[in-house]
Amino acid sequence: MKGIDFHHQKQTNYGLIIIIGALLGAALGSIIFWPKRVQPAVGDTPIVATMDTVAMATNPASPTPVSNTRPALPIAPDFELPDLIDPQRNHRLTDFAGQPVIINLWASWCAPCLAEMPALEAAYQEHRQDGLIILGINQTKLDTVDAALEMLATLDITFPNLRDDAGLTEQIFRVRGLPLSLFITAEGKIAYRQIGQMSEAQIQVYVGRLMNGRPINP
C-alpha cells in the first residue's frame, strides 16, 4: 500500500495558500485605490461608477429621457488667503467677481507645477488687459514660503500668488494631486477642473474658451 507523502502535501497546500493570497491581494489593491476617485471633487466628473450607479443601470425604476441640456456649472466657493509676497494683504475670490479667473494650486517641490507656470504667465500677460485673473495658490502647509518665493523669482512669475498655510483650499477643492487648475467664469462658476500638468497648447485653448465664454471641457 502506497503511503501518503505528507511533506509533498504540505508544500502543495502552502503553494495554494500563496496563490490564493496573491489573488486576494490584487483584489484588495483595486478596492484600496479605486474608491479614491469615486467621490467627485468640485466641478469634477467621477470616472468610477459607484454601486448606486450600477444598481440603477441594472434595475432602473423608470426610463430616463435623454436631455441635450448641459448640466449646470457649480459655483466656485469663496475663500480668503494672504498674499504670498505681502502676507499683510488678503485676497478673496469674490474680489474678482465679473472677471474670468484661473486658480492654480502648486508647490515648489512639484516639478509639473513649475513646468506649466511659464505658459500660465504667458497667458496672463496676453489676456490681463481683457480682465483675466490668474491666482496661484501655494500649498504652504506642505511647502515653505522661502522655497515658493524663490521659484516665483526664478521663473519670473508676475501673476498674483497666495499662501495657504492651513490647507484651506486643499479641503474646499478636495485636492488629490498637484498641480490643480480651476477655470472660473466671470459669473463665478467652475467651467473646468484640470488635475495635472497642462501643455502650453492646452493652456492657450482653455484660456481662449474661458475668455470667450465657451465650454472648456475637451
For the chain, list the domains and their CATH numbers.
Answer: 10-58 (no CATH), 80-211 (3.40.30.10)
User: Is the pTM higher than 0.95?
Assistant: no
Measured CA to CA, the distance from residue 118 to residue 185 in angstroms comes to 22
Asked if pLDDT for residue 43 goes beyond 90, the answer is no
pLDDT tens sequence across 25-35: 444 342 222 23
H or E element, residue 185: none
Q: Residue 204: how many CB atoms within 10 A of its CB?
A: 15
Asked if pLDDT for residue 15 goes beyond 80, the answer is no
Yes or no: say if 93 and 78 are a contact pair by the CB < 8 Å rule. Answer: yes
Asked if pLDDT for residue 172 goes beyond 80, the answer is yes
pLDDT tens sequence across 86-137: 999 999 999 999 999 999 999 999 999 999 999 999 999 999 999 999 999 9
pLDDT level of residue 68 (50, 70, 90 thresholds) = low
pLDDT level of residue 217 (50, 70, 90 thresholds) = confident
Please state, in angstroms and as integers, the Cα–Cα distance from residue 96 to each residue in 80, 93, 141, 182, following that order. Answer: 12, 6, 25, 14
Q: Where are the alpha helices (DSSP H) in the chain?
A: 6-33, 51-58, 111-127, 145-155, 168-172, 200-211
